[in-house]
Structure 1
Amino acid sequence: MAKTNAVLDVHERPAWSKWLVLSLQHLFAMFGATILVPILTGLSPSIALIASGLGTLSYLIVTRGQIPAYIGSSFAFIFPLIAAMSFGGPAAVMLGTFTAGVVYGLTAVLLKLFGVGWLMRLLPPIVVGPVIMVIGLGLASTAIDMAMNFNEDLGEYVDSARHFSVALATLAITIITSIFFKGFLSVIPILIGLIGGYIIAFMAGIVDFSPVVAAPWFHIPDFAIPFVTVSPMWSMTVIIIMAPIALVTMAEHIGDQMVLSKVVGRNFLRRPGLHRSLLGDGVASVMAALVGGPPNTTYGENIGVLAITRVYSVFVIGGAAVLAILFGFSGKIEALIASIPDAVMGGVSILLFGIIASAGLRLMIENELDMGDKRNLVIAATILVIGIGGAFIEITEFLEIPAMALATIIGMILHAVLPNKPVAYGNGQLFASLDDEKTTTEVE
C-alpha cells in the first residue's frame, strides 16, 4: 500500500512547540463522545477519560507503536452498560467491561492461529448491519426522554417544551457544524454541539453552575477497583449481555482499521496484524474494567483528524492519551460535565444514536447486499424486531438473555442454518482487505 504525503509519519516526533496543540486536537475530537457514554450509563466521566488515556497507551504498546489510533468509550455498549448498571451497579459494569476485553483477546488469539475466515462465517454483513441498527434504534427512547426531561419519580415529562427546545437547538448546532463547517471544526461537531447547547441551556435557566465554582481543580475520582473499592461479582446475565456485542464491535473495528490503513498508507491489517490491533482493544477494555470505566474501542473521530492534518505520529496520539488522564483528575472538569443538562445530552444523542443506526444501514449498502433475497430479508427483519422490540429470554431468576444479545445470537443461528450463504456477504467488502495467510503470519 503506497504511503501518503505525511506531515509527520507514524514514528516521527513533533517539535515541542507543536506537540501540545496537535495532541489537543485529538483530545477534543474524542472528548464529546467519550464522556457521553458514561453520562448516559451512570458512570464517571472522569474515570472514562482516564480509562481512555490508559487504554490508548496500552494499545500503542500492544501494537508496537505501529498504529496511530486513539481508544475511547464504545457507543455499542451503551444499552448493555445501562442494563448491567441496573442489574448490579459498578460491580456488574466491571464484569461486563472485563468480559468484552476477554472476548477481544480470545478472538485475537483465534485470528492469529486460524486466520479471519471463521469470523467472516460467523458475522457476515447481513448479521452485523441489522445488529448495529438495533444498537442505535434501541436507544432512541433514551434520547427522547432526556431531550424532553422525563422525570422517573413522577413518571411524566416536566417542563418538556423548554427542555425540548434546548435539545432541538443543540441538535441544530451539531448538524450545522457537521455539514457546513470545514477543516478540523467539522471533525468535532459533538463537542461544539455540547458547548453551544450548554450556553443556550444556561440562558434558558436550566443549568446549575454553582457546583462547578465550588469544585476543586484537582481531585481523585471514585475509582471502582476490584477487591479495593468494589467486590467483584459473577453473573452469567451480564456476560451474556456483553459478549455478543463485543463480537459485533469487531466488525466495526475491522472497518476502522481498513479506513486507517487507507489514510496512513500502510496495511495495518497485515502489519502489525488484525490480531494485534484487536488484542490492543481487548487490553484497553481490561484496563478500563480495572478502574471502573466502560469498554473501549478505536475512534473514527480521531481517524478523521489524521486524514485532515496528515499528522500520523503515534507520539501525538500518546500525548492526547496523557492529556486525557490529566483531565480526568480535574474536579472542575468533572463538575462542568455533570452540570450539562439532560436536554443538551438528549439533543446530541438524537443525532448520535441515529448515526449508529445509519452506520448499520451503510454497511449493508456498501457491501451491496441483495435485500430482495428472501434469506437476507428474513435475517434482517428478525434481528430488527427482536432487538428493537425488547424481547428477552428469562432462563432463571438471575439469568436472562436481553434483547440485543438475543437478536445477535438468533441472527447468527439463522445465518448458520439457512441455505444459500453467499448472498449474506454481498460484494465481500467487509473482509476484502484481509488475507488469511498474510494476516496471520506476517508479523515483525
Structure 2
Amino acid sequence: MSDDTPSYGFDTLQIHAGARPDPATGARQTPIYQTTGYVFRDADHAAALFNLQEVGYIYSRLTNPTVAVLQERIATLEGGVGAVCCSSGHAAQIMALFPLMQPGCNIVVSTRLYGGTVTQFGQTIKRFGWSAKFVDFDDLDAVRAAIDDDTRAVFGEAIANPGGYIMDVRAIADIADAAGIPLIIDNTTATPYLCRPIEHGATLVVHSTTKYLTGNGTVTGGCVVDSGKFDWAASGKFPSLSEPEPAYHGLRFAETFGPLAFTFHGIAVGLRDLGMTMNPQGAHYTLMGIETLSLRMARHVENAEKIAKWLEADDRVEFVTYAGLPSSPYFERVKTVCPRGAGALFTFAVKGGYEACIKLVDSLEIFSHVANLGDTRSLIIHSASTTHRQLTPEQQEAAGAAPNVVRLSIGIEDADDLIADLDQALSKATA
C-alpha cells in the first residue's frame, strides 16, 4: 500500500496493511516463506546487514518476510511505528521488558492481570533480578506512590483477563509520563478494533496473537508494538537503548534509529539473543485471522452483551462482571476506552460456589472447557482451579478469579443457542 495507508479505514487495513503481491510470482496472498536463511548479494551486502547499516533478511530467527507482513499489519492497526512478533504472548512481555530493565529495577503492574502474567511478574522475573509491585490501578494515588527511582515501566491490561474490567489507560499514561517511564498495555482482550492504547498515551502495546487476532485456536504467538513516541535517551534510565551497544561497535539505538529504536533493538538484540521467534506458518494463520477481525469482534461483542444481560437476570447467578452492563462500575469508561464495545470476556459467580462451578463446566455442551480465549468458539474455564490456581486466595480475589467464579469467552455462534446451553448447565449445577 502507499505511504498514505493510515487514511484507510480499519476494515481495509486489516486485509491490506503490510501486504503486497509477491514480486517473484504475483501471488496475491502473502506466501509462507518457510526458510531459515537468505542468500546475500555479496560480502559487502552481508556485512551491511550484520552492522545494521541496511535493512533486509539474514536468518529467520531475526526476520522473515511472512512475519514481517504480520508485524507491519499489527503495527498499522495499533497506530504504532513498528512491531516485533515472537513465539507467544508471554514471550512478548519479556521482549517488551528486556530493553528496559536492569538487575534491581522494578515494574508497577495492575493486580487485575491474567494469572500466568501474575506468576511471570511475581515470581519468574525475580530470576533476572527484576521485581514487580502489584497495585489496584483504579487507585491512582497508589499507582503514583508505587513508582520509585528504580521503576522502569508501568504495565496493565486494557480489558483485564478474566473479569473484563476496563482500565483507564489515559489516567495511568499520565502518571507514567510524569515519572518519565513507559506505559505498556496488554491489548490482547480488546484488540485494536475495540481499543487503540497508543491513542490513550501508551508507549508499548503487547499482544498474545494466539487469541482474538488469530481467532481460530490454531497457533500461539505474541507481538510488541512500538508507539515511537518515547524519548529513550531523555533520562539515562534506559542504557540498552541510549548508550553504546558493544555488540554493534558502539551503535546507539536511540540516536541511530530514532522513533524505531525500540523495534530495531527488539529484533537485533532481543530476537538475536532470546530467540523467541514466531514461525512463518504461525504468522500466516494469524494474518488470515486478522482479515476478519472487525467482523468477528462485532459479533463477539453483540453476543456477549446479550448473554451477560441474560445471566445478570438469572436467579442462579450472584453477579456478572461484564463492563458492557449498565450495572458495571466500568460502564461509562467503556465509552471512551473501548467505544465499539466492552469485549467478549467476562466472569460470573454461580450460587453454590466452587462445587457448582465445577458441575457447570462439566455440564456444558456447546461451550468448550479450554484454557484459551478469543476463539470463534465459546469457551469456559474455572480460573481458580486452572489458570489462576497458582495464586493465593487473596491474589485470586484481586484478579477477579474467586472460587465461585467462572470465566466466559463468548464466541460467534448463535447467541440463543449459547444461552440455552448455559441454562441447562446451570440447572444441573444448582439443582
Same fold (TM over 0.5): no
Which range, TM-score by smaller chain? under 0.3
Considering Cα pairs closer than 8 Å and 6+ residues apart, tell me whether 1 or 2 has the greater RCO. 1
TM-score normalised over the length of structure 1: 0.27
Pick the structure with more strand per residue: 2
Pick the structure with more helix per residue: 1
TM-score normalised over the length of structure 2: 0.28
